[in-house]
Amino acid sequence: MERLLDKVSLKVLEEFLRDARQSFREVARRTGFSSGTVASRVRQMEEAGVIKRYTVQLDYERMGYELTAITEIIVSDGMMLEVGDMIARIPQAMVVYNVTGDSDIMVVAKFKTRQQLSDFTKNITKMPHVVRAKTHVVLNTLKEELSLLP
């Protein structure tokens, strides 16, 4: 894995994170590597599971999702993974984490209406083994980026 994520691979990833629609030739031009090197590194990272899939980054507010909520959930009987799996199947749940600390699960979800947020929260509190849910509504999004590379 260490060879796989050397400086060459990280530079290729950085370029695709900037714009995943770039051709191998364009990434090669921008990085100074050959197109063959770029293609080979991408294939290796796909096979190793470093690159899991290709997607787009959306502006959810422009799509009408004006509400973002972060919900802390406390679960009983050690059923964190089972409850987390149920929550992960809810379309509005964008991110579901099993965490340490006072809560067991943290969920980041997006909604078009207050009613959707209300329904989401009520559905979670009705789930088996959910002891308590505490929801925070985001006032301002200062950064929303799931990429570690610059």
Q: Is residue 72 located within the same domain as residue 101?
A: yes
Q: Is residue 75 located within the same domain as residue 40?
A: no
Q: In what order do the strands lie in the sheet with 130-137?
A: 93-98, 105-111, 67-75, 130-137
Number of domains in the chain: 2
The CATH number linked to 126 is: 3.30.70.920
Q: Is residue 74 located within the same domain as residue 133?
A: yes
pLDDT digits (tens, 9 = 90+) for 9-50: 999 999 999 899 999 999 999 999 999 999 999 999 999 999
- pLDDT at residue 3 above 70? no
Q: Is residue 36 located within the same domain as residue 81?
A: no
Provide the pLDDT confidence category of residue 145 given band limits of 50, 70 and 90: confident
Residue 121 placed within a domain: yes
With 0-12 / 13-18 / 19 or more C-beta atoms within 10 angstroms meaning exposed / middle / buried, residue 83 is: buried
The pLDDT value given to residue 64: 96
Residue of 10, 18, 3, 60 lying closest to 38 (CA atoms): 10
Residues 6+ apart with CB under 8 A from 116: 67, 92
Q: Is residue 75 located within the same domain as residue 128?
A: yes
Residue 150 placed within a domain: no
pLDDT digits (tens, 9 = 90+) for 40-75: 999 999 999 999 998 888 899 999 999 999 999 999
Task: Give me the domain span that covers residue 132.
Answer: 67-137
Q: Is residue 79 located within the same domain as residue 115?
A: yes
Residue 108 placed within a domain: yes
